[in-house]
Amino acid sequence: MDTKNQQEIPEERLIFDKTYQCYVCEMKFTAKTVRTGKSHLISRDLDMRPRYDIIDSVKYGSIVCPHCGYAVMERYYKPMTKSQIAAIRNGISMKYNRPEDVGPYTYETARARTEIVLLNAITRNAKDSERSYICLHLAWLIRGQIELLEKTGIDPEKRLKLEEEEMTYLKNAAEGFVIARQKEPLPMCGMDENSVDYLVAALLYETGRYDEAAKLVMNVITSRSVKKQLKDKADCLKDLIKEKKAEQ
């Protein structure tokens, strides 16, 4: 199938209802999930945001129980401690009354779902790396939303507002990953040491912290265990940081 035909596939045909059992209220619920093998990764942004050919899978990364407001990124969908469950029951479920989301998810819906995931993570005192991972996904969703709006013409004020919101999430992600890198064991969010260092360097660069970014990217470039693909990305990032520092 050529690319033109693939682009014409409606999004609802690329997703399906995946069933989960809630770790808080124990009821079954579904979340829209991208069918495997339907879309292909084309490239990644500097901060590793994946770009697929026909669907933005980032929109489908959050699982939300419509009965009680338990929400989590799929990677972290696992049993919790009794005190974490109690924290979500008291902090979220008691006042949760959001209607169930219908698919395909818009960027607004995906963002609302991921913001509930972040609220859950804060409520159950999740690790810095998990919170940062969620903030990074929120930044990616806003970037995707801006790109989509650009196709039809985006109001400059709306664009500025979205860019500011994206930057806030990038800053939170950078800050949290810097802390996590110092105190959490590896692998972190499925990444080894070089991948974490590269990602943190990219986030520091994107948020204007060039000196820290320069230091960290050198860790990746000089690492004996770095794979070629990541080393190439790190070399690129190093050049970008150098340009920014020269402008200062």
Q: Counting Cβ atoms within 10 Å, is residue 142 exposed (0-12), middle (13-18) or buried (19+)?
A: buried
By the rule CB under 5 A, 88 interacts with Zn ion? no
* Residue of 45, 224, 77, 1 whose CA lies nearest to 141: 45
One residue of 15, 22, 134, 214 binding Zn ion per CB under 5 A: 22
Contacts of 103 (CB under 8 A, 6+ apart): 11, 12, 15, 32
Which 8-state DSSP code applies to residue 59? G
Closer by beta carbon to Zn ion, 23 or else 52? 23
By the rule CB under 5 A, 20 interacts with Zn ion? no
Taking the complex as a whole, the smallest distance from the CB of residue 31 to Zn ion amounts, in Å, to: 12
Which range binds Zn ion by CB under 5 A, 21-29, 113-121, 160-168, 192-200?
21-29
How far is residue 130's CA from residue 4's CA, in Å, rounded to a whole number?
Answer: 37
Closer by beta carbon to Zn ion, 67 or else 127? 67
By the rule CB under 5 A, 68 interacts with Zn ion? yes
Q: Which amino acid is at 217?
A: V
One residue of 14, 31, 65, 214 binding Zn ion per CB under 5 A: 65
Binding residues for Zn ion, how many (CB under 5 A)? 7
By the rule CB under 5 A, 25 interacts with Zn ion? yes
Which range binds Zn ion by CB under 5 A, 15-23, 108-116, 145-153, 224-232?
15-23
By the rule CB under 5 A, 67 interacts with Zn ion? yes
With b meaning 16 or more CB within 10 Å and e meaning fewer, what string describes 37-70?
ebbeeeeeebbebeebebbbbbbbbbbbbbbbbb
Chain centroid to Cα 218, Å, comes to 25
By the rule CB under 5 A, 70 interacts with Zn ion? yes
| Residue 34 bridge partners (DSSP) | 15
Closer by beta carbon to Zn ion, 65 or else 213? 65
Taking the complex as a whole, the smallest distance from the CB of residue 82 to Zn ion amounts, in Å, to: 16
Which spans of this chain sit near Zn ion (rule: CB under 5 A)? 22, 24-25, 65, 67-68, 70
